[in-house]
């Protein structure tokens, strides 16, 4: 016998061949799994009859002593002291079983809690698929430790029915073209994850396109703001600060990039409809007013 950190190693020889088995150690929560493993080891050694004698078989003291020795190796030291007064392997086995009946009840209650958590589990809109799949796997693992197996079919159906609406296309495709009863859980996770990655890539491309369009429109607006509403020439920020210093209130850059002063060539007089002056400077209007004034003076009656 060789000791490991957590378990004892039982060595048996059959026909000159050496076989080694790890003997599990009983604790407060693993009785069901422990009992299954111990029975398997006893069957290999051919001593399970010491625990469940066959009808009409005679008591075999050698097998009974071997079974007692293996049971002592598979239980904690404090438990060994409590069952040391029993003289047969069957008595020891039955005592351990009675002692851990309450543990089975606790396991049943725990399984009910896990089933309730499993049924109410839903993936959040912003939750990662890896994180959500990990939650499902964790519950399945906890149930397995308690002796209950959740098969892949149940896990796959739970996954497909509890993901957000953004996965509806891939879920519909999987349900239509794939046999859910034969699909492994990890394969279903992989299909959804591939769809999620493609969706993220597409959303990034759309977002980048929208940003480029916004930048382009913003650039057009800036260029428009910097152009003169009269001559169409662009002005610099520095020129915008210097507006009002020229003869007519504005200075601009011409097409050659040289600073120029805006003249009156673009101004149209609304009195004579000619360009080059303001209405209050209209020479024709002044001439006309003077002519009317002279005519009015000539028409005045002379007093006798």
Query: What was the pLDDT predicted at 98?
Result: 81
| Cα dihedral 288, 294, 298, 302 in deg (nearest 10) | 140
* CA 242, chain centre distance (Å): 55
Domain end marker among 66, 99, 132? 99
Arithmetic mean of pLDDT, 186-197: 89
pLDDT at 92 over 70: yes
Beta-bridge partners for 13: 18
Q: Give pLDDT tens digits for 226-236.
A: 555 555 555 44
Domain end marker among 178, 201, 224? 201
Average pLDDT of the chain, as a whole number: 75
Domain co-membership, 19 together with 84:
yes
Q: Give pLDDT tens digits for 141-166.
A: 888 877 788 999 999 999 999 998 88
Q: Please state the domain count of the chain.
A: 2
Domain end marker among 167, 182, 201? 201
Domain co-membership, 92 together with 129:
no
Q: Is residue 92 part of a domain?
A: yes
Q: Give pLDDT tens digits for 164-185.
A: 888 888 899 898 888 888 999 9
Name which of 61, 58, 23, 25 is nearest 44 in CA terms: 23
Q: Is residue 117 part of a domain?
A: no
Q: Is residue 48 part of a domain?
A: yes
Q: Is residue 189 part of a domain?
A: yes
Q: Is residue 157 part of a domain?
A: yes
Range of the domain at 29: 2-99
| DSSP state letters, 130-177 | HHHHHHHHHHHHHHHHTT----HHHHHHHHHHHS-GGGHHHHHHHHHH
């Amino acid at each position: 016998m060789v000791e490991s950190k957590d378990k004892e190693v039982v060595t048996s020889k059959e026909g000159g061949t050496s076989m080694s088995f790890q003997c599990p150690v009983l604790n407060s929560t693993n009785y069901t799994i422990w009992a299954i493993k111990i029975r398997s080891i006893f069957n290999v050694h051919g001593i399970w009859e010491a625990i469940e004698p066959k009808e009409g078989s005679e008591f075999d003291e050698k097998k009974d002593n071997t079974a007692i020795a293996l049971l002592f190796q598979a239980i904690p030291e404090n438990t060994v002291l409590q069952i040391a007064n029993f003289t047969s392997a069957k008595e020891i086995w039955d005592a351990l079983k009675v002692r851990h009946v309450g543990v089975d009840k606790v396991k049943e209650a725990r399984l009910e809690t896990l089933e309730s958590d499993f049924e109410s589990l839903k993936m959040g809109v912003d939750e990662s698929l890896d994180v959500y799949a990990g939650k499902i796997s964790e519950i399945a693992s906890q149930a397995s430790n308690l002796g209950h197996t959740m098969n892949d079919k149940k896990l796959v159906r739970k996954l497909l029915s509890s993901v957000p609406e953004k996965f509806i296309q891939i879920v519909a495709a999987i349900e239509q073209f794939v046999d859910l009863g034969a699909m492994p859980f990890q394969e279903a996770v992989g299909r959804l994850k591939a769809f999620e990655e493609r969706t993220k890539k597409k959303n990034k491309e759309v977002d980048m396109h929208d940003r480029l369009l916004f930048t382009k429109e913003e650039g057009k607006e800036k260029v428009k703001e910097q152009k003169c509403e009269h001559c169409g020439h662009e002005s610099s920020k520095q020129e915008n600060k210097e507006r009002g210093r020229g003869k007519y209130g504005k200075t601009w850059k011409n097409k050659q990039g040289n600073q120029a002063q805006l003249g009156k060539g673009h101004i149209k007089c609304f009195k004579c409809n000619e360009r080059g002056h303001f209405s209050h400077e209209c020479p024709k209007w002044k001439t006309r007013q003077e002519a009317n004034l002279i005519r009015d003076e000539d028409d005045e009656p002379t007093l006798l």
